[in-house]
Amino acid sequence: MDGNGRWATLQGKSRIEGHRRGKTSVRVIVEMSRKLRIPYLTLFAFSTENWLRPHDEVYALMGLLETYLIAEQPKMMRYGIRLQAVGDRDRLPANVRRTLEDVIELTRDNNRMTVVLALSYSGRDEVVRMANKIARKIGDGELQPGDIDEEIVSNHMDTPDVPDPDLLIRTSGEMRISNFYLWQIAYSELYVTPTLWPDFREREYHQALMEFQRRRRRFGRTDEQASEPARLNAGSGGSES
């Protein structure tokens, strides 16, 4: 979710106004995903590197996150949305962390949709934490070095029960991954739009999904082998279009 600051500058507003409007985009995109029965949605909300921003901006973002979690909690329960988080939670302010953990706990048995918030997250940081978890198990004799395969690695990432994303959308036109999921996006379709996140709403999301449907996913095989058009592989889906 990129471009909140640029949106604000273009409007002659403070960066925080941009984040506030970006929060409305989050609400719209979660709601639309739910209606389309997209089973998993990950939102990259705050990176490890974002801690380096001015204190006021970090503080405002943490406040927006907390009010978002509190305000959306009833809707998550009503619609069966399970909340998960990836990232280094220990760095979050205590109140935000508590609220986050409360909502994760409250929604843990919901099973219609999973929303993953990437908070204080970076892809490399997650890889390092995964390596440490595996190393500890080897140290304890729970795992042998020769046991390590792709499945073991996947199972030691932050959300072992969330499938790899089919589609990665990046707003604001930057052609880079910026330390988001690294391991998980090996075969994700990439979609970059110049639209700034605060302007990314129904129409833009719909366009991205339509573009995704036109992609041919070969997963390394030939065109003939992969004659099926792109499909969401994550769940039973059943989206309308």
Binding-site ranges for ligand IPE (CB under 6 A): 1-6, 22, 46, 50, 61, 172, 197
Q: Binding partner of residue 26 among ligand IPE, Mg ion, none, CB under 5 to 8 Å per kind?
A: none
Triad 13, 202, 110: Cα angle to 5°: 105
Q: Nearer to Mg ion by C-beta: 15 or 34?
A: 15
50 is catalytic: yes
The answer to whether the beta carbons of residues 134 and 148 sit under 8 Å apart is: yes
Q: Nearer to Mg ion by C-beta: 4 or 84?
A: 4
Strand ranges for 68-217 from DSSP E: 81-86, 113-121, 167-170, 189-192
Q: Binding partner of residue 180 among ligand IPE, Mg ion, none, CB under 5 to 8 Å per kind?
A: none
132 is catalytic: no
The answer to whether the beta carbons of residues 118 and 42 sit under 8 Å apart is: yes
Catalytic residue from among 50, 88, 102, 179: 50
Q: What SS3 class is residue 12? A: coil
Classify 103 in phi/psi space as left (phi over 0), alpha (psi -120 to 50) or beta. alpha
Q: Which ranges constitute the DSSP H helices of 36-118?
A: 55-79, 94-106
- Interaction between residue 2 and Mg ion (CB under 5 A): yes
Please report how close the Cβ of residue 129 comes to ligand IPE at its closest, in angstroms.
21
- Give dist(CA 125, CA 82) in Å, integer: 24
Q: Binding partner of residue 42 among Mg ion, ligand IPE, none, CB under 5 to 8 Å per kind?
A: none
Please report how close the Cβ of residue 48 comes to ligand IPE at its closest, in angstroms.
11
Q: Nearer to Mg ion by C-beta: 2 or 166?
A: 2
Q: Nearer to Mg ion by C-beta: 43 or 106?
A: 43
Q: What SS3 class is residue 199? A: helix
Residues near Mg ion (CB under 5 A) are 2
Catalytic residues: 2, 50
